[in-house]
Amino acid sequence: MEIPVETTTSYIAQTRRTHMTATEQLRQEHEAITLVLSILEKLCQRLANGEEVNPEHFGQVLEFIQVFADQCHHGKEEQFLFPALEAAGIPKVGGPIGVMLSEHEHGRALIRQLAAAWQKHRSGDRAAAAAVITSARDYSALLNGHIFKENNVLFPMAEARLSADSQRRLLEEFERLEIERIGAGRHEQFHKTLDFLKQTYLG
């Protein structure tokens, strides 16, 4: 699924609004992740057509997925949101939290495959392009489905069960994690990179 070109990437500013809840911030980050997956598909199309792919741009997409999507976004969910939902009575085993955690791990395995295949391709193994494309598309399919489930099932459950105070505490914890995991100002750097890649591949 591709995000319309006119979709703004001003999610950075939006997530910094003081009235935004923790789940709203995660939804905004989903928009950015989905946008990156659309850019990844454009790069795969070029590879599939035998065209050259800018290695810096592919590396930026990989870094966004590994650092922003996984370490930062998934980190917020695993370290803070999911435990808060368990405390609110949503089961981990046999429930939606367990499914989300399993999909996070599956996504990490696919990203490791993608990074390894890309490295082989960069080293001159032209046959590795097929593995790059397969891993990238498998990851995108997983993440798009995962995001749909979180937006339409898990987050509404959270919004029904978590108090305003709980949401506020989560948001504060999210901000601290971001600084610890990726450093102050890195979020904004990812925003600028995403704007550039969007204009380059979806503009």
Structure tokens given for 10: 């001003």
Q: Is residue 94 a part of any domain in this protein? A: yes
CATH number, domain of 106, equals 1.20.120.520
| Tokens linked to 21 | 């809840």
Tell me whether residue 6 is in a domain: no
Q: Does residue 1 lie in a domain region?
A: no
Q: Write the CA distances from 41 to 34, 140, 200, integer angstroms.
A: 11, 8, 13
* Residue 161 pLDDT greater than 70, yes or no: yes
Report the pLDDT value the prediction gives residue 185, as an integer from 0 to 100.
Answer: 85
Asked if the structure places residue 5 within a domain, the reply is no
Q: Rounded to whole angstroms, how far apart are CA atoms 144 and 148?
A: 6
Tell me if 145 is assigned to some domain. yes
Please tell me the predicted confidence (pLDDT) of residue 11.
Answer: 43
Say what percent of the chain tops pLDDT 70.
Answer: 91
Tens digits of residue pLDDT in 86-100? 999 998 998 999 999
Range of the domain at 146: 11-201
Of 70, 95, 72, the C-alpha closest to 85 is: 95
Q: What is the mean pLDDT of residues 192-200?
A: 96
Domain count of the fold of the chain:
1
Q: Which amino acid is at 38?
A: S
Whether residue 184 lies inside any domain: the answer is yes
Q: Please, are residues 140 and 41 in contact by the beta-carbon 8 Å criterion? A: yes
Is residue 2 assigned to a domain? no
Residue 4 counted as domain residue: no
